[in-house]
Structure 1
């Protein structure tokens, strides 16, 4: 059987060459994959898709490569074909009755994705673009500003260059209150699939990852995930969108280091809370459910509220509370003699707002992972909080390994307090529906 290659080094007519590949050959490849210790030369672990066989997950490209190698009597390597939803390899596996599911896992610190780290486009592609091809200065990762459905379906990656330079027709900016004023590519309209996906973005379900630089020749800085704030529905070619940068304010000195000049805050009442951080964090018992005002809530009536300022302040409160908990977890693990675990505590929310939890920590006795969702308020012990459907789902998935850390009395000059509860959220809290996500029936 003659095998020919294209200019990119890929096998030509792969579908035709493997039209007689059988399901049994794929299952034999799975057995070989297990015997090889689940590692195959030239193939990395899949970061975006799982091949599900008998309830167990396998990397689709690696298994397909082994099956193709045996069928063609030729050593098929990762660079010889592509994966992904529209690829010939996935179509063949699905034709044979195999299930391929998108992963719910997104790359983080161990894959090299670090908040405020510096990256080239190639660097970002290596972490977030599995199955894609990189061509410097052209193509999806080498040129475009919006990359859809990466790292997972429904996600997006934005590459933004601020400032004036040849060929730049946009007026993007970052404001003092952490808003990114952004314009899409010039040819895009309200009907463009990329624009429709972005304006429907929900940061608790999917990621929009921001890589930003201020000079065309500089590396990009990873600013973490964004949340959709508003858009101008009258704008066309390009479409105007405003995002919230979730990790705000920036660390001291970062803006000047990368040459980022902030424009005035969109909210005239915005004030940073750097000086309002509590001095420490003290644990208390959870509220006594028999004495709490169940079902009545503890909210306030808001008159002429500056909702943009309130949202920005809540983001700052949330981030500050998460940092207090991270330090609390690290201090506890060190005190228990588990420096090894303390060094692995991860602030997940800084790179993945859709994880369903904020912090990954560890039980000091068993070493088991803990998934911590932090809820912070300036109110008292019985103040209600909001929780997303994704967070509720993750609590069900992780069971007793999932924790709610509720920080209250958050104010400068005195210790903040917190209680914690593990397990299924629906069993530990009364959930009152306040909003519903509506999708048009067809």
Structure 2
């Protein structure tokens, strides 16, 4: 039985099997992890414990990529760099996975609008162990997860629609149906460029300008923010907020950030505009 580093062929085989289980898990279809593991052991010369741990490693890689993972396989770090490459190869061969529509199966025209769970934003006090955090964020930087999420218009629009529903529910719950009727999806009606996506209100009638950032990943998944969004956040501090939606394809959760943003996050310039003088 092999005990050395996993080969590319072995990594590719187990990554394919993992995504087969993950697709079933996301869709709510029944599947048996023990059956999958038994079939995997017939293909590769590894121990059951080694296969189980490799599944946990794949979960950790997907966490770094800002993607879903199988809840039953808790992310385990300190994995081979070659495993990251194997997951990246699978995603490159299956572009439909990243382009898939969010699972909105719970949405129904007959269901009352619902609020999103909003918790505290990430802080130094609740961050993972340093090595785990660094390995996760290294993957996110290498594969530019923030830019990928920003380019995913299906994900972005679905997130904005979900925030619209949340704002309606919050105002109706506060007895302000009059304000709920005035909420506007400005990114859809007026286009991008205003520095926020949704124009809503607080229950006391104060303007609430919401910039929505959505990811299927965990709460620390990096996100992109434009110079214009930062400018509007600064100019309209008392009204503007960033609504960060995470775990979106499973059970959407959120936190809110208020200006100044550099009090909450590290802002890194990633692109520059070139012009001729």
Whether the 8 Å CA contact 1:347–1:360 is kept in 2: the answer is yes
TM-score w.r.t. structure 2 length?
A: 0.54
Residue in structure 1 matched with residue 119 of structure 2 by the alignment: 284
- Of 237, 242, 247, the match for 1:399: 237
TM-score w.r.t. structure 1 length?
A: 0.35
- Of 164, 167, 170, the match for 1:329: 167
Considering Cα pairs closer than 8 Å and 6+ residues apart, tell me whether 1 or 2 has the greater RCO: 2
Whether the 8 Å CA contact 2:149–2:215 is kept in 1: the answer is no
Q: What SS class does the counterpart of residue 420 from structure 1 fall into?
A: strand
Whether the 8 Å CA contact 1:401–1:423 is kept in 2: the answer is no
Alignment partners' CA distance in 2, 1:275 and 1:369: 29
How many pairs align? Answer: 168
The structure with the largest alpha-carbon Rg is 1
Whether the 8 Å CA contact 1:377–1:409 is kept in 2: the answer is yes
- Of 257, 264, 269, the match for 1:428: 264
Runs of 5+ unmatched residues, structure 2: 1-93, 107-113
For residue 439 of structure 1, report the CA deviation from its aligned partner. 1.5
Taking the TM superposition and a 5 Å limit, the aligned residue runs for 1:133-282 are 269-270=95-96, 273-274=100-101, 276-277=103-104, 279=106, 281-282=116-117
Residue in structure 2 matched with residue 344 of structure 1 by the alignment: 182
Alignment partners' CA distance in 2, 1:357 and 1:342: 18
Shift of the 364–311 alpha-carbon distance from structure 1 to 2, 3 Å rule, reads closer
Alignment partners' CA distance in 2, 1:312 and 1:391: 13
Residue in structure 2 matched with residue 419 of structure 1 by the alignment: 255
Q: What SS class does the counterpart of residue 373 from structure 1 fall into?
A: strand
Structure 1 or 2: more helix by fraction? 2
How big is each residue's C-alpha offset from its partner over 1:151-206, in whole Å with a ceiling of 9 and x where there is no partner?
xxxxxxxxxxxxxxxxxxxxxxxxxxxxxxxxxxxxxxxxxxxxxxxxxxxxxxxx
RMSD over aligned CA atoms reads: 3.1
- Of 143, 147, 152, the match for 1:314: 152
Runs of 5+ unmatched residues, structure 1: 1-267
Alignment partners' CA distance in 1, 2:252 and 2:119: 10
Shift of the 374–312 alpha-carbon distance from structure 1 to 2, 3 Å rule, reads closer
Whether the 8 Å CA contact 2:213–2:223 is kept in 1: the answer is yes
